[in-house]
Structures are given as C-alpha cells and as structure tokens.
C-alpha cells in the first residue's frame, strides 16, 4: 500500500471530530478523551507519522492521551489515510463539522438537531435555512438563536476566527488602559491566551477588581470599538469589537483576584489539572479561591494558590499542560529568560536593502530601547527584489559602520554596531556571499528564502550544509513559516538540532509576530539538546524593535533560560562563543 503522508493537523482534526460525533451520541467522557488526544497531537513538534516510522506502535502510545483505542485509529490513519470508525460516524451525520462548529454558540448537540430536522450539512445550508426563518421554528430555538447563527456566519466569513497576537495587541492594550483609567477600577489585567503569549488568540479575557461593577460594565459595553454586546451581567460581560474580536470582562472581588486570574489565564487543561490536584488534597478550586469545605485556603494571589497546592509558581507562558505541573511539584522548573534580559539584536535590516531606516537611525532607536548593540544584517544579492548586497556593496557598508561606530565612540556612547549579513542559502546549501567576505563579518546569519517546496530530505541537507560552514553563525527563521499565511517548509528539525549541537550553530527565535520561528516546541527541543538560540526582532524599521518582546515570550513558552539565549549574554562572551564554532 502506498504510504500516506497524513499531517498532524489532519490527524488532530479527525480525532477532534470523532469527539464531537461522540458528544452528539450523548457519550459522557469519550469526547473529552478524543479532544485531549487531538490537542496532544497539535502540541507535538514532530510529525506523528515520523514518530510512528521510528518507533512504531510503542512510540505512538507514549503520546499523552493515546491509549489502545486511539493509537489503533491513528495507526490506521497513517497506514491507509482513512479511519473506518470516523467514517462510520460521519455517515450517520454527514455534516461539515469544522465549518459548523466554528459558528459561535453552535455546539455538537444543535448541529445534530439541525441536520436531523432541517438536513443542514454545511455553512451555506445553515445560512440558507437561517435566512429563510426555518431555524426559529424548531423547538428549543427561537428568534435570537437564529439571529446569533447569522451573525456567527457573518463573522466567520470576514475573519477566520483567530487573530495573530502581535497584530491585535495594540488595540487590546488600548482597551485595557481605558478601563484602568476608570476610578471604579481598582486593579485590571488581561488574562487568557494573551497573558500566556500564544501566537494567535481566539478572544480576549480581561479581569478586574471593582466595588462598582455595574459602572465598569456599562463603560465596557459602550466603548466606541464595540460592534455588539453578547452578554452583560454584574460579574461577566462579553462584547465583539468591530474588528471581529470577542472580548470578555470579568469583575471579581479582591479576595478572589489570584484565583480568578489563574482561572481565566488558563490554559483550560492546566486549570483542569490544578483542580484535580486540589481535589486529591481535599480542596476545591474555582475562580473564587481554593477552599476546604467552605473555608477559604487561598485566592488573593496566584502564588499562594500554587503554594497551597504544593507547587512552585508557574509562569503564564508555561501553562500549556506540557509537563509544567510535574516540574512545579518537584520544584524543578527552570528560571526563564526575563523580559529585560536581551542585550542586543542580531537581525536588523536597513535602507541598504528592504529596511526603511538608515544604519544610524536603527542604532539610535535600539539604544533608546536600552539595547547595547545591534548587528546589521541586510539581504544578499540573490534576493534581488530587496536590492540584496553583493560583495562590493557589503564592503562599502562595513566601512560605513566603522564610521558610525567611531562617531559613537567620540560622543562617549558605549553602543556598538556589529557587521553582519542575512545571507541567502542557495539551492545546494552553498551561500550567496563568498567565504572571503563572510570571514570579515562579526555575525553571519543565513536564511532560506527560496525553493520552499524541496523534499524534506533535500531541504534538510541544504540547511545542514550551510551549518557545516565554519563561517556560519546563525540560521535565521529556521522553518520559514508565516503564521496563518504560509506553512513551514518540510524540514527534519530533529536532524537540524542535532547538527546545531555538533557544529555550535545558533538557531534563531525570530520575534516578528507573524513568524515566531522557531516555534515553542522547537525551542524546548533546543533547550533539552543544549543548542543555543538568539532572540531577534528582524526589524525593518525603528518601530520593529518592539517585536523583541514577542520573541522573548516565545522563548519563555519554550522554557528557555538566560543561558540558552546568546544575546542575553554579555557581548564579549557571545562573540567568543561564535568565534569558537
């Protein structure tokens, strides 16, 4: 039989849909089991088919949430591309679950009823029935339900449902600040996936302390950005913004603030695990606190809750149910890289190629953000559309950098501009600049900007070859993905990490909000393998240095400590490390 090339995304989708079908059947716990397995697959850095290829059934069973039954079904999917169990379920209720359950407010139970009573199978048919006024006549549905469905469809059409964090963060911060400015608000924090710095978010959860919640809620639902109000109560309100993003606001008492912050920060699975631990200790944990019977044990701060549960405090970026609970119980959590730890930026573009600002402008902007140095890494000639540098122009740029540095020294500024490149990797893994030039640079970064469709083997070999070049220091944005726009190219990251360790090559955590490349699971693999990384803004203008924060957050999501990130080290130590490659 032809071997199938099913991806993790496809496997997760099928597992999740099996869960939804089982929910329609009224099963109580199986749906959650399938959902958990789907989440585990999505969190994997490695393709499930590769795990199976290497370790067969045994290796699959080691995936969290995979028992006998799910392992069997996933094996079938890998081998044949089909799962008979899934297809049987699908035959009974042949609907496009992905489409329909993306409609807000519409769950499995109602999807089933809409199919059985109106024959609705997909978004288009749902819209048609809703517009024809057929849904409101069903028992249990009504005018409002029908309206909500239509609005849900409208939203899906324009947004796709999730937002890239870095693109919506300014608006979120703006709303949070307006709320903080109210005299009725004593304390306020953005929780949820925003606080965990997930790369994309589905909605925003804001938490506040106030003794006049009604005034806060009234202000919140009448913000000018509000497109509609879903719910307005004393403790909880929910709105949709004009850009399509949902925002929830919860108001709690001071005594519950820590418990609520913990609860609304999630992740959901992390919270479930905490509650289970609470139960085992004879407590009950909810958003109001940790209780023994009716007696409150903890709740004002998150720290006291973790402590009462016998654990160390867990940073929000780690709360993804990827082993953090066990480490916290054993008091073995790493001390994460901090937001103030980055001393310099190793990838900066200027107006010599596709950047907006001059070398000097970029340097001054970096300085004003508290950085001690930047590396100028303009593109090379193969990237013709950016005006990439050839040997002659990069030599000229190096002279220019010397001149600016001299000017800084004269003024008594300690800031340094280093010479570098973002050199294109050619098809065969050779480079777009000669070794003679590369030798003269302080930092050599290399990037794949072409031939994204090479086979996994060719792409991996291509990048490996550059890493074996002693002049190459860093692989920039190692997987090439653009969040929500372009998938990563096929590359064997296990192998890349192995070679990085062997050759002392740095792998970049590109902080640009649409890249965040390496992704969190790959960072964790590097940390475990002892491979060093850098956090770079990839700035193309002076405002882009602000991206570093997203890169630091990403590093923290991958459990990186200061010693894992070379541009968190003193400059001389970093340069020595690169020299000794």
Looking at 17, 127, 199, 248, which residue binds DNA (CB under 7 A)?
248
Give burial (CB, 10 Å; 0-12/13-18/19+) of 81: middle
Minimal distance in Å, beta carbon 264 to DNA? Answer: 6
Minimal distance in Å, beta carbon 214 to DNA? Answer: 11
- Give CB contacts under 8 A, 24+ apart, made by 408-415: 408/363, 413/367, 414/372, 415/363, 415/366, 415/367, 415/371, 415/372, 415/373
Looking at 3, 56, 69, 576, which residue binds DNA (CB under 7 A)?
69
| Per-residue tokens: 463 | 């990048």
Q: Which of residues 533-562 bind DNA (CB under 7 A)?
A: none
Specify the residue, 192 or 551, whose C-beta has the smaller distance to DNA: 192
Stretch of residues binding DNA (CB under 7 A), selected from 165-173, 263-271, 335-343, 353-361: 263-271
Q: Which residue has the tokens 């860093």?
A: 474
Specify the residue, 55 or 407, whose C-beta has the smaller distance to DNA: 55
Size of the site for DNA (CB under 7 A): 63
Q: Interface with DNA includes 262 (CB under 7 A)?
A: no
What gap in Å lies between CA 320 and CA 323, rounded to an integer? 8
What gap in Å lies between CA 456 and CA 454, rounded to an integer? 6
| Complete DSSP assignment for 61-109 | HTSTT--HHHHHHHHHHHHHS--HHHHHHHHHS---HHHHHTSTT--HH
Q: Interface with DNA includes 104 (CB under 7 A)?
A: yes
Q: Interface with DNA includes 34 (CB under 7 A)?
A: yes
From residue 143 to residue 182, the character string flagging contacts with DNA as x (rule: CB under 7 A) and all else as - is xxxx-x----------------------------------
Looking at 80, 200, 255, 286, which residue binds DNA (CB under 7 A)?
286
Looking at 44, 65, 301, 387, which residue binds DNA (CB under 7 A)?
65
What gap in Å lies between CA 153 and CA 209, rounded to an integer? 34
Q: Interface with DNA includes 412 (CB under 7 A)?
A: no
Looking at 1, 29, 453, 485, which residue binds DNA (CB under 7 A)?
29
According to DSSP, the β-strands at 200-201 and 284-286 are unpaired
Q: Interface with DNA includes 276 (CB under 7 A)?
A: yes
Looking at 134, 186, 228, 236, which residue binds DNA (CB under 7 A)?
236
According to DSSP, the β-strands at 533-536 and 506-510 are parallel
Looking at 203, 320, 473, 514, which residue binds DNA (CB under 7 A)?
203
Of the candidates 403, 399, 397, 449, which has an alpha carbon nearest to the alpha carbon of residue 423? 449
Minimal distance in Å, beta carbon 308 to DNA? Answer: 15
3-state secondary structure of 248: strand
| Per-residue tokens: 482 | 């653009």
Q: Which residue has the tokens 């059409």?
A: 157
The contact set with DNA (CB under 7 A) reads 28-30, 32-34, 36-37, 64-71, 85, 101, 104-111, 136, 139-146, 148, 192, 202-203, 205, 230-236, 246, 248, 264, 266, 268, 271-272, 275-276, 279-280, 284-288
């Amino acid at each position: 039989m032809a071997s199938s090339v099913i991806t993790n995304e496809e496997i997760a989708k099928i597992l999740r849909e099996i869960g939804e079908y089982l929910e329609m059947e009224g099963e109580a716990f199986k749906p959650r089991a399938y959902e958990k397995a789907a989440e585990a697959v999505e969190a994997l850095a490695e393709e499930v088919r590769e795990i199976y290829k290497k370790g067969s059934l045994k290796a699959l069973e080691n995936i969290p949430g995979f028992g006998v039954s799910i392992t069997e079904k996933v094996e079938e999917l890998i081998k044949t591309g089909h799962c008979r169990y899934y297809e049987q379920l699908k035959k009974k209720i042949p609907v496009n679950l992905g489409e329909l359950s993306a409609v807000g407010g519409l769950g499995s139970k109602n999807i089933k009823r809409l199919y059985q009573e109106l024959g609705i199978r997909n978004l288009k048919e749902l819209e048609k029935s809703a517009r024809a006024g057929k849904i409101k006549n069903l028992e249990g549905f009504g005018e409002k339900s029908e309206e909500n469905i239509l609005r849900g469809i409208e939203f899906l059409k324009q947004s796709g449902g999730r937002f890239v964090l870095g693109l919506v963060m300014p608006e979120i911060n703006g709303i949070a600040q307006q709320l903080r400015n109210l005299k009725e608000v004593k304390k306020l924090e953005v929780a949820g996936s925003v606080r965990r710095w997930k790369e994309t978010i589905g909605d925003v959860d804001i938490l506040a302390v106030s003794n006049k919640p009604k005034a806060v809620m009234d202000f919140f639902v009448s913000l000018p950005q509000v497109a509609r109000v879903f719910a307005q109560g004393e403790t909880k309100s929910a709105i949709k913004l004009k850009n399509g993003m949902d925002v929830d606001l919860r108001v709690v008492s001071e005594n519950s603030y820590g418990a609520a912050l913990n609860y609304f920060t999630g992740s959901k699975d992390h919270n479930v695990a905490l509650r289970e631990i609470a139960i085992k200790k004879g407590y009950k944990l909810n958003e109001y606190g940790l209780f023994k019977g009716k007696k409150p044990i903890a709740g004002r701060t998150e720290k006291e809750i973790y402590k009462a549960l016998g654990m160390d405090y867990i940073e929000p970026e780690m709360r993804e149910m990827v082993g953090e609970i066990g480490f916290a119980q054993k008091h073995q959590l790493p001390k994460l890289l901090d937001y103030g730890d980055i001393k310099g930026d190793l990838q900066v573009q200027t107006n010599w190629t596709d950047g907006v600002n001059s070398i000097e402008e970029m340097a001054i902007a970096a300085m004003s953000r508290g950085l001690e140095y930047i590396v100028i890494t303009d593109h090379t000639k193969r990237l013709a559309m950016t005006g990439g540098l050839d040997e002659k122009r990069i030599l000229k740029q190096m002279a220019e950098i010397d001149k600016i540095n001299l000017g800084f020294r004269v003024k008594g500024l300690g800031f340094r501009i280093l010479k570098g490149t973002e050199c294109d990797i050619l098809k065969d893994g050779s480079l777009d600049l000669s070794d003679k030039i590369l030798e003269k640079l302080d930092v050599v970064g290399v990037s794949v900007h072409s031939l994204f469709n090479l086979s996994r083997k060719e792409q991996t070999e291509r990048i490996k070859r550059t890493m074996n070049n002693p002049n190459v220091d860093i692989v920039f944005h190692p997987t090439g993905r653009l969040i929500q726009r372009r998938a990563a190219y096929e590359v064997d990251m296990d192998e890349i990490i192995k070679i990085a360790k062997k050759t002392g090559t740095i792998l970049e955590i590109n902080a640009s909000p649409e890249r965040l490349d390496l992704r969190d699971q790959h960072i964790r693999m590097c940390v475990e393998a002892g491979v060093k990384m850098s956090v770079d803004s990839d700035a193309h203008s002076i405002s882009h240095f602000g991206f570093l924060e997203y890169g630091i957050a990403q590093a923290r999501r991958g459990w990186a400590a200061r010693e894992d990130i070379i541009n968190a080290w003193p400059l001389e130590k970093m340069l020595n490390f690169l020299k000794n490659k």
